[in-house]
Structure formats: C-alpha cells, structure tokens
Amino acid sequence: MLANTQQKLPLIIGHRGASRAELLQRLDDHSRPWDIIVIGGGATGLGAAVDAADRGYRTLLLEQGDFACGTSSRSTKLIHGGVRYLQQGNLALVREALRERYLLLTNAPHLVHDVPFVIPLYSWWERPFYGIGMAMYDLLSGLHRLKHSRHLSREETIDLVPTVRRRNLRGGIVYHDGQFDDARLAICLAKTVVDLGGTPLNYMDVTGLAPASECLTTVTARERESGREYKLSSRAVINATGVLCDQVRRMDEPLCSPLITLSQGAHLVLDRSFLPGSCAVMVPHTDDGRVFFAIPWHGRVIIGTTDTPVDRVTPEPVPFPDEIDFLLAHAGRFLERQPTRSDILSTFAGLRPLLGGERGKKTAQLSREYHLSVSASGLVTITGGKWTTYRSMAAVAVDAAANRGGLDPRPSTTRSLRLHGWEAPLVKSGAPDGYGSDRGLLEQLAGEHPGWKEQLHPRLPCTTAEIIWAVRSEWARSVEDVLARRTRSLFLDAAASREIAPRVARLMAAELGRDQAWQTEQLERIDVYSRQFLPA
C-alpha cells in the first residue's frame, strides 16, 4: 500500500464503457465550455486526460490517429528507473522514475509486472563497477524497491539465461525492473478517462487554435471518418503531441522556435528460443552509448534499442538497415546463437522527442526529462520524458492548465488512482494479460458464438472474441488498430498478421456496418503498413 494514502477505486470496474458514437455526441453540447482539452492521445496526453478528469474537470482528449499510434506503442516495453540515466549522473530522474514504477505496479498490476534482468559479466572490472551501480539503483529505489540486486556465479548466470554466450563468462548480476504492454496501457488510460467522466476521441484532427476571448480558446477539429468539423471552446488547452508538439505550437505561435530534437529507437522481435526462461538480459554499454536489452515479451524476445538522430518526423518510422545490423551483431555478442535477418519475426521503430541538442547530432546523451511551457496565449505544452514518468508529467501539465484557465484549484490524486481493470495481483507465472477485471466480460463475449474462443492463427495468441471486443469496447476503427495496438499481433509476427488480415477485416466490417469496398481498402492499407514490420 502507498504510505499515508488511501487507495482510490476507479468509478467503474469491469464494463464496456461508452461507444465512440456516444462520445462524439458529447461534442454537440455547447451549453458550457470544456475545462481542459488535451491534444494528443499518447502516454502523456492520456495521462493528462486521466488526471484532469479525476480532478473533476470537464475533459476532452483529441487524437489525430489511434490512441498510442506513434511513439507510445513503440517503446522497449519497460517501466524502469533507467540504468543509463544512472550512468549519466541524473539521479533525480532515476529516483522519480523508480517512484513512478512503484505507483504503476500498485495501480495497474494487470498491466505492469516485475521482471528479473541479468547483466552478464565478461571482464574482471565489470563485477565491482556494475555491482556498485546496481547497489546505487537499489538505494535510489528506497521503499519502492522490487527486490535486491545480487551477484551471480557463472553457473547461476547460465541457469537463469541458458542461451547466454559462455565464452569468457565470469558470472553476472541480477536486478529487477518493471515491464508492460505500452499500447494496452494506453487503452486502459483511455477507458479510465471514460470511467471518470471524460471524453477521449481518436481520429480527430486538430486543425486550428484561436483565442475566443480572454478566458476561452477555440479548438477546431475534424472527425476523420465523417469529415465533420467541430468548433470547441475550452478554458485551457494542453499540447501533449510528442514529436508533433512543435507543429501544434506553430498553430498558436507561427514563428516559435523548435523545442525538440528527434531520435529514433529501433527494435527487433525474435522467437523465444533465443532467450527461454523468465529473465531478460541487459548490457549497460554498447558501441553507440546506449543500453542493450533482450527481453521476453508475449512469448517472443525483443532486442533493442538504438539511438539514431533523424531530421524530420515521418508518419511511420522504420528501422534503418544499419540499425538492424547493429542489433543483430550485439545480440550475437551476448547470446550463444547468432540471430540473422531470417530469424526476425517483426521490427519496429519509434521517434523520441528529446530536449536540446542540434538536429543530426548524437542523441544518446540528450536529456529524457520533460519540458513544460505556457505560451503568451495560454497554450500549455508538455513534451519530452518517457512512459515511466507519464503520470507525474501529466500532473504538472494539468496544474499549469488549471492555473491558466482560472479553474478551481484541485490537487492531483492520481498517485493513488487504480486504473481501469484493476484487480488484485494473482500469484502466477507469466505476464498479466492486460484485460484485468474486464476479462470476465471478454469471456462472456467469447461464449456468445461457437468458435470465438479459437486463435486466429497458430503463431498468434489473439482470438475472434478479442477482435470483436476491440471494436465494441476499445474504439478500434481499422484493421491496423486491431493488429498493431489492441492485440499486438504485428509486433509479434508480421507475416502471420498479414495472413489473418482478411478475416479481421470481415469481422470488423460486420461490427462497424462497413461494405466490401471498406474491406478492400483496409486490406490494401494493412498490406502497405505491415511491410514496414518486416526487415528490408
């Protein structure tokens, strides 16, 4: 339990929630302005909407694509303090992240869980050097520590990581950190917003910002499916659009200077045979100065990550060929079996909004802290940071927005807010499934028709019922939404996902009332999109 804090329950646990049509109807209520409009449906934007709604503010979130369709679904899947930030001496960031890790493990145990990480040691100096570092990591965790790090013999290291490279292996160090499913947590946050009376909407393009009066701002938005435009008044607006934050800032101040520098992080997904067991592998230093991870996730292994400077925002970033080569080479240094391109089941890359630096320069050392600013017209911009600290970033942004909008001051209480689907952690092996207390409703849905409990593909865990659930209860609007973010199928096995795409399109068309032309368009789009998950 949290010290000196009474644990809060969400307003509703285990329900289907409002449909997208019902949420859209709320935009026609012009009897009073919104208190806070949040632009951006990634980690920070969703966190801000949860925080604002939890304080009782009338809250609207607008996302131009699907929830977490950008950087927020393309992370390394870790809720962690950050060993690299410890190496950089940024103790404040590490301490904050370790505190937030504890809060997420407490408030979302159906989405975040503990994973042991092994640091293999190959040189005599690594044991004292990394041992001291992990002891500092434990110390900074304080009361929020998961388990103590400890030194391993050579035999213990091989026992925990049977596929670790054994030549010159001297032993290891094991420590514990958090793991999660980023896109599933994003959907959980969107459902929590609804639980709290807020309105999250995907596929809403924000096309303009303009002062309506001294105390109101007009946000112009276009609903992408119907093309309908909305003019929405709000007392405060939060720009939480990540790598697109400068584009939104220019709607408000056309001549503003850019805030962020872009970096790309690439990941590879391999078969679990490369890393069986429950332990991850972490190498604290690679050729480009980043930490290297090999992490079990949903029955696969994620290898990552890189830190490559990029000059511009691309809608769908993909790993560069040299990034793939880099990750394969480093995997071969620390695993007995050298993976090749033919072993890759999927690849993905995400763009990071980093603060400071010059475009095109080395980004591995740039700050992962966040930046908050308020423009002359009152636009609150929050950018930078990382998934682990989304909640604290959101609280700061809502504080600023409430102050700027003249709202009744109300403190953030999300430190003790159980997220949608919360249920008491079960003592069992493996990661949680991400549904939590909604699982009963999903199972009830699966029982409505014969065959809905069956897997759609032998190499993928998703079932027909999960596709239907994604449409009815999680606002999925496209085949991409389902395969990439509701079930994570594209991230687990891109080729298998392409095989089930026609069936997914048929199921969704029946639920959404779409015709054959829609199915054809969806399959053409997913064909192009899914190729980005296959190595060049």
Residues 517, 473 share a domain: yes
Residues 347, 265 share a domain: yes
Residues 328, 476 share a domain: no
pLDDT band for 92, please (50, 70, 90 cuts). confident
Whether residue 291 is predicted with pLDDT greater than 90 in this model: the reply is no
- The total number of structural domains in the chain stands at 3
Residue 236 lies in a domain: yes
Residues 333, 289 share a domain: yes
**What region does 360 belong to: left with phi over 0, alpha with psi -120 to 50, or beta?**
left
Residues 230, 204 share a domain: yes
Residue 337 lies in a domain: yes
Range 191-220 average pLDDT: 95
pLDDT digits (tens, 9 = 90+) for 421-463: 999 876 555 567 889 999 999 999 999 999 999 999 999 999 9
Residue 131 lies in a domain: yes
Residues 402, 276 share a domain: no
Residue 216 lies in a domain: yes
The pTM score is: 0.94
pLDDT digits (tens, 9 = 90+) for 359-375: 444 444 444 578 999 99
Question: What pLDDT was estimated at residue 288?
Answer: 67
Whether 377 contacts 211, CB under 8 Å: yes
Residues 171, 189 share a domain: no
Residues 203, 65 share a domain: yes
* Residue type at 158 in one-letter notation: I
Which CATH number do you get for residue 344?
3.30.9.10
**What region does 353 belong to: left with phi over 0, alpha with psi -120 to 50, or beta?**
beta
Residues 385, 503 share a domain: no
Residues 277, 252 share a domain: no
Contacts 24+ apart (CB under 8 A), 223-232: 223/24, 224/64, 225/477, 230/27, 232/27, 232/34, 232/37, 232/60
Final residue belonging to a domain, choices 367, 399, 416: 416
Residue 94 lies in a domain: no
Q: How many CB atoms lie within 10 A of CB 372?
A: 16
Q: Residue 129 belongs to what H/E stretch?
A: helix 126-141
Residue 7 lies in a domain: no
Q: Name every residue whose Cβ is closer than 8 Å to that of residue 112 and which is 6 or more positions away in sequence.
A: 79, 101, 104, 105, 178, 179, 180, 185, 432
- % of the chain at pLDDT higher than 90: 82
Residues 244, 136 share a domain: no
For residue 298, which of 279, 272, 324 has the smallest C-alpha distance? 272
pLDDT digits (tens, 9 = 90+) for 40-67: 999 999 999 999 999 999 999 999 999 9
Tokens of 103: 């809060």
pLDDT digits (tens, 9 = 90+) for 227-244: 999 999 999 999 999 999
The parent domain of residue 408 ranges over 20-71+184-256+375-416
